[in-house]
Amino acid sequence: MKKKEELENLKQECQGCMKCELGKTRNNIVFSDGNPETAKAILIGEAPGENEDKTGTPFVGRAGKLLNEFLEKTGIIREKDLYIINTVKCRPPKNRVPSDDEKAACEKYLLKQIEIINPKVMIFCGATALKSFYDKKIQISKIRGEVLELEIGSKKRKCIPIFHPSYLLRYHSLEEGSPRNLMLKDLNKIKNLID
């Protein structure tokens, strides 16, 4: 079975999911974005926001637009190089951080997507994504840009934490050492790993 078919079957299953309270308040599940046949990296965000819940597509609000700008600057093609998912498929009320129980309810879908895509690199976009797979006490600012080798699903995978673009909305400088400057460096590192 091709990746697209497997993922479509998984998406159908996910659409009927009511394992947590988020299923009752969603407009749409936010399953993924990107081309599963060509994606070399999986980018994992936190959770859908209001725009994502309306459209069913991850990273389409202000933070998504900023992410697209940074991807473009580093030569990463969103529609070709990335498969984009979140730690949960439904929007938490008022865009709060998803709970551990909500993430646990979605974990089966998340791990299956990772297994089907089998990426060269996994990108943890923001602290929530990082803490879903790594030490919950570590701050993303201490570890962003590092290449971690983690056992995820059935194999060891290269993983890189990066800042979430919503964090970058607060900072506008591209000076050396600024959050936006660090983001560009991290995305350049990812570009080198997937080429």
Whether the full predicted model's pTM is greater than 0.75, yes or no, is yes
Q: Is the pLDDT of residue 21 over 90?
A: yes
Neighbours of 92 (CB within 10 A): 21
So what's the pLDDT on residue 145? 97
What's residue 154's pLDDT? 85
Q: Tokens 């600024």: give the residue.
A: 178
How much is the pLDDT for 106?
Answer: 96
pLDDT of residue 89 exceeding 90, the answer is: yes
Helix (H) or strand (E) holding 7: helix 3-15
Q: Which two tokens stand for residue 187?
A: 């995305």
The CATH number linked to 67 is 3.40.470.10
pLDDT given at position 1:
66
pLDDT at 136: 83
Contacts (Cβ under 8 Å, ≥6 apart) of 23: 17, 90
Q: Is the pLDDT of residue 124 over 90?
A: yes
**Tokens 């439904």 — which residue?**
90
Please give the angle made by the CA atoms of 102, 93 and 46, to the nearest 5 degrees.
55
Tally of domains within the chain: 1
For residue 13 the two structure tokens come to: 């299953």
Phi, psi of 122, rounded to the nearest 5 degrees: -110, 135
Strand runs (DSSP E) across the chain, as ranges?
33-34, 41-45, 82-86, 121-125, 148-152, 155-162
Question: Is 58 within 8 Å of 52 (Cβ atoms)?
Answer: yes
Mean pLDDT of 79-105: 96
How confident is the model over 3-19, as a mean pLDDT?
95
Question: What are 147-195's pLDDT values in tens digits?
Answer: 999 999 889 999 999 999 999 999 999 999 999 999 999 999 999 999 9
Tokens of 86: 């979140």
Residue 118 is encoded by which pair of tokens? 């089998």
| Domain of 73, in residue numbers | 3-194
In which element (H, E) is residue 133 found?
Answer: helix 127-133
pLDDT at 153: 85
Tens of pLDDT, residues 34-82: 999 999 999 999 999 999 999 999 999 999 999 999 999 999 999 999 9
DSSP 56-73: S-SS-SHHHHHHHHHHHH
